């Protein structure tokens, strides 16, 4: 049955999966190993939410990435500013909104995922979808109060592209969990349980993130396929 019919629900879970953001580009010659790692080893893990954010700053070198969005570049720059870094690069993975690592270093990425999974907090996120309406129920548990940004993400699970120009010319590349939409739903002060509502259309999976405001750590997340 289509996810837009009737009701579908995501069970509340403290902390939830570890979020891995990959900043990548079809025009980047060093990105295919990171794209393949995300697609083959991370995209289908229940304990990980792997998201590929294609950036636009390599489009000038001969191939325009049709998945790229300037909003993704802005998000990556926001992380760099928060970390006191002056440059951004691809492929970069950001683990749980906190740790920055080269995306083609699987061993380091897996180590960081394990570390964040073991440190999961008490915040729980429950998602319920009825038609085009999504209800996001949040409970702070015993976590200390802080200002959180509640974000809604949609993505395409799988796509392939024949790259005809640029650094990857002649290659057919597979991409997974390609972000198509990233919206800020609201802010939460964590003083008590809170419910948000959002409009969602189509069959793409839904992800909700609870993140410290200002490109801080992601402390909870949930996915609804």
33 within a domain of the structure (yes/no): yes
pLDDT digit string (tens) for 38-92? 999 999 999 999 999 999 999 999 999 999 999 999 999 999 999 999 999 999 9
Q: What is the pLDDT of residue 194?
A: 97
Look at residue 2 and tell me if it is in a domain.
Answer: no
Which residues make Cβ contacts (< 8 Å) with residue 136, sequence separation at least 6?
125, 126, 127, 150, 185, 195, 196, 197, 198, 208
Q: Is 155 within the bounds of a domain?
A: yes
- Do the Cβ atoms of 149 and 129 come closer than 8 Å? no
Let me know: does 122 contact 141? Beta carbons within 8 Å: yes
Residue-wise pLDDT for 175-185, tens only, equals 999 999 999 99
The continuous run of DSSP H or E covering 59 comes out as: none
Give the pLDDT confidence score for residue 142 in this predicted structure.
Answer: 87
Query: Which pTM was predicted?
Result: 0.94
pLDDT score of 101: 98
Give the residues across from 129 on adjacent strands: 8, 134
Q: Is residue 195 part of a domain?
A: yes
In a domain, 88, yes or no: yes
**How do 218-224 and 172-188 pair as beta strands?**
unpaired
Residue 66's nearest CA partner among 177, 154, 157, 160 is 160
What's residue 42's pLDDT?
98
- Tell me, yes or no, whether 15 lies in a domain: yes
In a domain, 122, yes or no: yes
pLDDT in tens, 92-150: 999 999 999 999 999 999 999 999 999 888 999 999 999 999 999 999 998 889 999 99
d(CA 106, CA 85): 23
Is 214 domain-assigned? yes
Its domain, for residue 164, covers: 7-224
- SS3 labels along 102-126: ECCCHHHHHHHHHHHHHCCCCCEEE
**How many domains would you assign to the chain?**
1
């Amino acid at each position: 049955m289509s996810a837009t019919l009737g009701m579908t629900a995501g069970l509340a879970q403290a902390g939830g999966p570890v979020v891995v953001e990959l900043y990548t580009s079809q025009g980047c010659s060093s990105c295919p190993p990171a794209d393949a790692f995300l697609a083959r080893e991370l995209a289908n893990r229940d304990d990980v939410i792997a998201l590929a954010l294609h950036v636009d700053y390599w489009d000038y070198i001969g191939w325009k990435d049709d998945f790229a969005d300037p909003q993704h570049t802005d998000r990556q720059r926001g992380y760099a500013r928060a970390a006191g870094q002056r440059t951004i690069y691809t492929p970069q993975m950001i683990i749980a909104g906190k740790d920055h690592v080269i995306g083609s270093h699987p061993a380091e990425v897996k180590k960081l995922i394990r570390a964040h999974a073991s440190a999961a907090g008490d915040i729980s996120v429950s998602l319920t979808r009825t038609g085009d309406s999504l209800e996001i129920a949040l409970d702070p548990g015993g976590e200390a109060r802080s200002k959180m940004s509640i974000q809604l993400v949609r993505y395409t699970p799988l796509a392939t592209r024949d790259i005809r120009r640029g650094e990857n010319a002649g290659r057919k590349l597979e991409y997974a969990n390609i972000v198509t939409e990233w919206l800020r739903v609201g802010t939460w002060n964590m003083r008590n349980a809170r419910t948000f509502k959002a409009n969602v259309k189509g069959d793409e999976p839904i992800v909700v993130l609870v993140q410290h405001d200002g490109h801080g750590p992601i402390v909870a997340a949930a996915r609804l396929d």
